[in-house]
Amino acid sequence: MMPSIACASGKGGTGKTTVATNLARIMAYERDTHLVDCDVEGPNAHHFFTLESTQRSPVHVPVPHIDLSHCDLCGVCSDACAFHAISVLADTALVFPELCHGCGVCAYICPRNAITERPRTIGSVLEATCDGMAFTGGSLNPGEPMPPPIIQAAKKTARGRDYIIIDASPGSTCATVEAVHGTNFCLLVTEPTPFGLSDLRMAVGMCRRLDVPYGVVINRSDLGDGRVEDYCKEEAIPVLGRFPSDRCIADVYARGALIVDHNSAWEDRFRGLLMALDRLLKREVNHG
Amino acid sequence: MVEELVILSGKGGTGKTSLAASFAVMGEREWILADCDVDAPNLQYLLEPTIEEQHPFSSSAIARIDKDRCDECGLCRTHCRFDSIDSTFEVDDVGCEGCGLCSYVCPRSAIAMQPRLSGYWFRSQTRGGIMLHAQLGFGEGNSGKLVARVKEEARQIAQASPLPRVLVDGPPGVGCPVIAALSGATAALLVAEPSISALGDLERIAEVCAHFQVPAGICINRFDAQPVYSDHIASLAKRLALPILGRIPYDEQFTWALLEGRTIVEGDTNRAGKAVRALWQETVTTLL
């Protein structure tokens, strides 16, 4: 059993990366831990560690290449492409690589076998170690629209460790789904405001649809109202941590350091979060 | 020609929506509003829309297997690149991209592609004017296409006005929905906050704006919380030749106003409210 825990949130800026990085640090004291940054549109977890033996590899997706000497411009490929990535004109056929999902329909369907697929780089994956902890960070090249292949590539590097912590992107649709899908538990980091509550509801809906067990961390718990607490109570959602607003954490975060390395009260809070998480994971294993 | 201002940030939680709602209130109903964060549509909590129209949104397809025809040959499973058909020949409706390859390869024509409902879009009245907004289903994809739809509807309404203007509250990140929100825009306002994470994300989103040739300006939110990093943002802005259009102080009033469902520029005048007013003036004169 190799538990993987995703840190996610509907709303951005609630503290996902803070929770993921500090939790990973506490966990790595005693367990074989791998932190995977799957927020490939805004990868920030690497700022908080001194990474060693780093290795960056490109991530490719297959895109069609049309051999115009074989193509008779019949247009079957462009009709079949669900993503409008091929346009066949009177005298040529054009490929729009940014729209291509790499499904392979065009190459399969072309009656003249004029289409082959070629790799195209859309981003990269950085692998490294840090004080015994393994680290992977995915990064989508600016201008590229599709994060999922990078997220898949980043997650694939994290096999063989005892514990995997995944830092997901904000939201509740495709990129977040890709990061949370298949994990054993999802920590939903929220804040006690109407924005936080609304986006938490969407993130909960996503976890239920993906059948991933989840719990909530309420960040800046003293800066808002009780509606998030009420919602969690009504829905019987476990609240694993309540973190107060603290100027100290903002300062440490801003300069890219870990709060658990600098402040014993915060180290205790994250140890408490890890214990609460262990209890829930154990329950999931026994019942799931 | 419709003028279109898009508010973006790269990093989530920097204050896009709080600023968009304030701008909407100050815009004296001259702007058509478009909430293009369809993963976490939050403008509604500050502008209290009255929904006038609701439309289902369906843009892609999903594979459906006719079990009476299927002889479980497994060709569809071999070809599917999204691992979305399981060993019992059920389609994973989260993973299915709707490419249709399975339906082409099936030797018994047992697979049909059906339209899928991804979410809804709305046209509403608010105290800041007409607002277009949307909601994706839990864990649904196609956020970029829904963003494009919301923007298109907003533009059409704006076109009928003597001063056609659209104000877009954008999503976090740099991927597909951000590119859709940025596409065809007149200018972008990038909301940064002083931290090492937000700095990296600001550079990425600025690169995306440059890639799509949309002029941009920067606003530093909570600039006084971490003055060192505010200086770093100013240096980055200089290097990228982007104007700094405003600096907003840290103020818990943002949170308290949000809890009351109002914007920072409504109610008692305060330092942050004044800074937001000045930012709006500067944004309109410099970027448009």
Whole-number pLDDT of residue B141: 84
At residue A185, the 3 state secondary structure works out as strand
End of a domain among B84, B116, B148?
B116
Q: What is the pTM of this model?
A: 0.96
* Residue written as token pair 């609240």: A239
Fold designation for A61-121:
Alpha-Beta Plaits (3.30.70)
Q: What is the 8-class DSSP label of residue A140?
A: E
Q: Are residues B229 and B103 in the same domain?
A: no
Most B CBs within 10 Å: which of A174, A188, A228, A246, as the mutation test of the B interface?
Answer: A174
Chain A contact for B72 (CB, 8 A cutoff): no
Q: Can you say how many angstroms the Cα of residue A237 is from the centroid of all Cα atoms in its chain?
A: 22
Note the pLDDT tens digit of each residue in A225-269.
999 999 999 999 999 999 999 999 999 999 999 999 999 999 999
Binned at pLDDT 50, 70 and 90, residue B1 comes out as confident
Note the pLDDT tens digit of each residue in A175-207.
999 999 999 999 999 999 999 999 999 999 999
Q: Which of A262, A204, A281 is nearest to A18 (CA)?
A: A262
Residue of chain A with shortest Cα separation from B192? A13
B85 vs B109: CA distance, rounded Å: 16
Q: Are residues B112 and B226 in the same domain?
A: no
B80 vs B70: CA distance, rounded Å: 16
* Residue written as token pair 């059906």: B114
Note the pLDDT tens digit of each residue in B47-71.
999 999 999 999 899 999 999 999 9
Q: How is residue B230 written in tokens?
A: 């505010």
Whole-number pLDDT of residue A1: 53
Q: Are residues B129 and B238 in the same domain?
A: yes
Contact call for B171 and A171, based on CB within 8 A: yes
Q: Are residues B148 and B203 in the same domain?
A: yes
Q: What single letter denotes the amino acid at residue B226?
A: Q
Q: Are residues B72 and B112 in the same domain?
A: yes
Contact call for A170 and B173, based on CB within 8 A: yes
Contact call for A41 and B261, based on CB within 8 A: no
Q: How is residue A75 written in tokens?
A: 């247009």
**d(CA A221, nearest CA chain B) in Å:** 12
What value does the mean pLDDT take over residues A35-64?
A: 97
Contact call for A44 and B229, based on CB within 8 A: no
Contact call for A101 and B99, based on CB within 8 A: yes
ipTM for the assembly: 0.95
Binned at pLDDT 50, 70 and 90, residue B269 comes out as confident
Q: Which residues of A touch B229 (CB under 8 A)?
A: 254-255
Contact call for B258 and A41, based on CB within 8 A: no
Q: Are residues B54 and B77 in the same domain?
A: no
Report which secondary-structure segment, H or E, holds B191. Answer: strand B187-192
Binned at pLDDT 50, 70 and 90, residue A287 comes out as low
A254 vs A97: CA distance, rounded Å: 37
- Tell me if domain A4-49+131-287 and domain A61-121 are identical in fold: no
Please say whether the beta carbons of B196 and A258 come within 8 A. Answer: no
Q: What is the 8-class DSSP label of residue A234?
A: H
CATH number of the domain that residue B215 is part of? 3.40.50.300
Residue B51's alpha-carbon distances to B121, B122, B161, B165, B170, in angstroms, are 10, 7, 21, 21, 20
pLDDT over 70, % of chain B: 100
pLDDT over 70, % of chain A: 99
Query: Which residue in A42, A101, A224 is closest to B201 by CB distance?
Result: A42
Q: Are residues B48 and B166 in the same domain?
A: yes
Q: How is residue A201 written in tokens?
A: 């509801």
What value does the mean pLDDT take over residues A25-30?
A: 96
Fold designation for A4-49+131-287:
Rossmann fold (3.40.50)
Domain that holds residue B81: 61-116
Please calculate the CA angle A124-A65-B116 and round it to the nearest 5 degrees.
Answer: 75
**Structural domains counted in chain B:** 2
Instruction: Give me the residue spans of the domains in chain A.
Output: 4-49+131-287, 61-121
Q: Are residues B192 and B256 in the same domain?
A: yes
Q: Are residues B163 and B251 in the same domain?
A: yes
Q: Are residues B98 and B136 in the same domain?
A: no
